[in-house]
Structure 1
Amino acid sequence: MISVKKINAVFRFPWVPDSFGHAPYFWLLSLGIFGLKYFYQSPSTIELVVGTITLLVFFPCYFYSFWAPQRQQLLCALIIYIAGIAWAPFNFGSATFCIFASSMIGHKLSTRTSYLCLFSLTVVTSLLSLIFHFNAAFWIPATIFSVTAGVSVIVGEKFKRTQESLLRKQEEVEHLAALTERERIARDMHDVLGHSLSVITLKAELARKLFDRDGDACKKELMDIEQAARTALSEVRAALTGYRSIGLAHELQSTQQALATAQVTMTQEIANCVLAPLTENVIALALREATTNIIRHAHASECDIRLTADEDHIVFSIKDNGIGRKDFSIHNKGNGLTGMSERVATLGGKLIIEAEQGMTLKLKLPNKTSTTGKTDDTTYYC
């Protein structure tokens, strides 16, 4: 026995998908055409019974077609179409069933299949009307309006699928943009914290050694540690908000202080040229990463920094005389070098790494601000 709850659940269930809105309910008003004949002619008992059965079959097929798979949807359309043809000799208003069938075939089928089915229904309707001499009030709307309704649904569904495809692509683009932003933040965090923590560690070791021998020097190193920690904190905050912009002059000064603490002699030759903000930021970050690597791994005593520029290219190089890069692996770049090469490639430049006597990082960048193309971003010479 069917419970009241199940009956209520059927009536509460959405009969058409939300994407169709309320339009399918308004389309049902066209069923009034089927009853138009009986405004001036009383129906017989057989017509009342058969008409009621037809509507009882029509409504489930109609609403189910919005949810059914392709084959079941075609079956529903075929049942409604047969009902329209069967009623044609007795009620010209049954043309509305043919129109409903034509519109139902375009919901889930491919565009080509939908047009083929619509063409087939139209041909069959025309042939049957010719053979059985159906009333013109039936076959004219059953052919012309069916084609109009069918084409409208097919075009609408194609537009809907295009919109859904664009939405999916937009979601994919947003997802890729989020991944790119996370990678940018990861690179920036590595550069900011790697450099700052290396300086703090070095100064902390020096302060520990000076603790018993020179209190004033130890105090100075502790003050430098505090300042470096504050600077790192402010840079992390700036990087997270996406507004960090590092100046090359400021980074050169910080590099000189850090290398001096590590007892590395720094020489520099910087050309007097105007750098685009993005280019300057990439060079400054590369200098910071290279300085961190020299302090941590190179065991160098000298570091030479050069910046040259002509009309086409800007070349920035950092060279040390360290001995700690003999085990350098081309295929095992760290996060710092990977981030550096990605930044350089974003500007359409090239990162050249020479690992012979010491380590040389060379950035070759286009001397213009509008470059966005990518090239082979890293070249190695060992």
Structure 2
Amino acid sequence: MRGWRAAWVPPAMGKAPYVWTFSLLFMVWKYYFIPPTVLELALLLLSVPLFLLIYFNSLWHRNLAVLPHLLGVVLIGLLWAPWNPGASCFFIFATSMCARFERGRHAYTAIVLVVASAVLAGYVLHLKQNFVLPVLIFGLPIGIACVMEGNVWRSREQLLRKQEEVAYLARIAERERISRDMHDLLGHTLSLITLKAELAGKLLERDLAACRNEIRDIEQSARTALSEVRAAVSGMRQSGFAHEMAIARAALAAAQIGLREHLAACEMPAVAENVLALALREAVTNILRHGQATECVVALQLAGSMLTLQVRDNGRSLADGSMPEYGNGLRGMQERVAALGGRLLLRVEQGVTLEVALPVGGVGI
């Protein structure tokens, strides 16, 4: 079991598991009509905390590791069945826990066994209407829905891991390319400058005219190397946003999310391009993880001295129209945008729209 100070629910699950615990109110429905005995009250105080420990701990386990938790919840339901028909809620919880089996065959088999045990107990105890029906009406659909949701959640996790792996490999390839380019650009030129500097030093006392020629060659070689380095760095800057856009296309296509692009051809300062590339990455990651979208629109435009990136999806939005909470990624992005004198807007419409606007006039190239 997990300690009291540890997190009770995996962060990716949000607050839903806490909400589901209100289903335990089925256990006290009987006592609205019939006062509980002292024994029943004692059993409630003992079994409900035990169930909560098993339930929350099961959320951190998968496959065979969740089997003891599943059996424990079913056992609590069977022990309570003769005393309280509301114990059917334990079997409903057990069907939802079957989603922790990653293989669909194992998950659905576990659901059938849980429901069968509830039906058998109901027939033996003659509790068909009050005990068996809730399990059949609620337990089966909830169990199947949880299995399907678990499959979708695991698919998204795998997609995000692949996206991170692609980005990591791309960074390694970029570092290797930079290393090769710098070696090719500077290796020969610096060797030539070194040789000419040694020669100029030898000619200084014997032939001043030849020495001046060598120094002029050194100056020219240095200027040539500097221009080549600037050209190479400029090329690296221009590939930043384009590279991130290519990763976004691949990730959205893999998630079967349609992409519409409206990208204006414009030169971007290096710092601004880096911030926009990071904003695009953060927005696409949030769409893949939370949005449940089927379409994404990416627009980049230059209006006057403002460079604006807008990423919009048609996914899930908050029902009351309130703003979503800023995570670490969005807070960090807001700080970077503010440091450049820009603005970051997050709007809830049909889905969520992320807009980053940066002034390009005052940003150094």
Task: Report the TM-score when normalising by structure 1.
Answer: 0.56
Contact residue 125 and residue 143 of structure 1 kept, 8 A: no
Q: Structure 1 CA distance, aligned partners of 2:93 and 2:164?
A: 35
Q: Structure 2 CA distance, aligned partners of 1:157 and 1:149?
A: 12
Q: CA offsets per residue over residues 182-212 of structure 1, 9 Å max, x none?
A: 1111111111112312432453455456545
Contact residue 106 and residue 154 of structure 1 kept, 8 A: yes
Contact residue 64 and residue 101 of structure 2 kept, 8 A: no
Pairing partner for 2:166 from 163, 168, 173: 173
Displacement of 1:169: 0.9
Displacement of 1:25: 1.2
1:226 aligns with 2:219: yes
Which residue pairs with 1:152 in the alignment? 145
Which residue pairs with 1:24 in the alignment? 17
Q: Structure 2 CA distance, aligned partners of 1:198 and 1:13?
A: 60
Judged with a 3 Å threshold, the aligned counterparts in structure 2 of structure 1 residues 199 and 72 are, in CA distance, closer, same or farther, namely closer
Pairing partner for 2:77 from 84, 109, 114: 84
Pairing partner for 1:122 from 107, 115, 121: 115
Secondary structure of the structure 1 residue equivalent to 2:50: helix
Pairing partner for 2:186 from 193, 197, 203: 193
Q: Structure 1 CA distance, aligned partners of 2:6 and 2:197?
A: 70
1:1-382 aligned within 5 A: 10-68=3-61, 70-204=63-197, 206-208=199-201, 210-243=203-236
Q: Structure 1 CA distance, aligned partners of 2:5 and 2:202?
A: 79
Secondary structure of the structure 1 residue equivalent to 2:235: coil
Q: Could you tell which deviates more after superposition, 181-190 or 232-241? A: 232-241
List structure 1 segments (4+ residues) > 6 angstroms apart after TM superposition.
none
Q: Which has the larger radius of gyration?
A: 1
Contact residue 61 and residue 100 of structure 2 kept, 8 A: no
Displacement of 1:79: 1.9
Contact residue 88 and residue 118 of structure 2 kept, 8 A: no
Q: Structure 2 CA distance, aligned partners of 1:64 and 1:55?
A: 14
Which residue pairs with 2:298 in the alignment? none
Contact residue 96 and residue 143 of structure 2 kept, 8 A: yes
Stretches of structure 1 that go unaligned for 5 or more consecutive residues are: 1-8, 246-382
Q: Structure 1 CA distance, aligned partners of 2:16 and 2:176?
A: 46
Contact residue 122 and residue 143 of structure 1 kept, 8 A: yes
Displacement of 1:177: 0.7
Contact residue 238 and residue 244 of structure 1 kept, 8 A: no
> Number of residues paired by the alignment?
237
Displacement of 1:108: 4.8
Q: Structure 2 CA distance, aligned partners of 1:191 and 1:153?
A: 56
Which residue pairs with 2:292 in the alignment? none
Judged with a 3 Å threshold, the aligned counterparts in structure 2 of structure 1 residues 122 and 50 are, in CA distance, closer, same or farther, namely same
Q: Structure 2 CA distance, aligned partners of 1:100 and 1:52?
A: 19
Displacement of 1:225: 0.4
Q: Structure 2 CA distance, aligned partners of 1:171 and 1:69?
A: 23
Stretches of structure 2 that go unaligned for 5 or more consecutive residues are: 239-365
Root mean square deviation of aligned Cα? 2.6
The code of the aligned residue for 1:236 comes to V
The code of the aligned residue for 2:209 comes to D
Contact residue 62 and residue 100 of structure 2 kept, 8 A: no
The code of the aligned residue for 2:214 comes to E
Q: CA offsets per residue over residues 104-133 of structure 1, 9 Å max, x none?
A: 222254332111111222233233333443
Contact residue 203 and residue 221 of structure 1 kept, 8 A: yes
Contact residue 102 and residue 151 of structure 2 kept, 8 A: no
Q: Could you tell which deviates more after superposition, 118-127 or 97-106? A: 118-127
The code of the aligned residue for 2:8 comes to W
The code of the aligned residue for 2:144 comes to V
How many percent identity over aligned positions?
Answer: 43
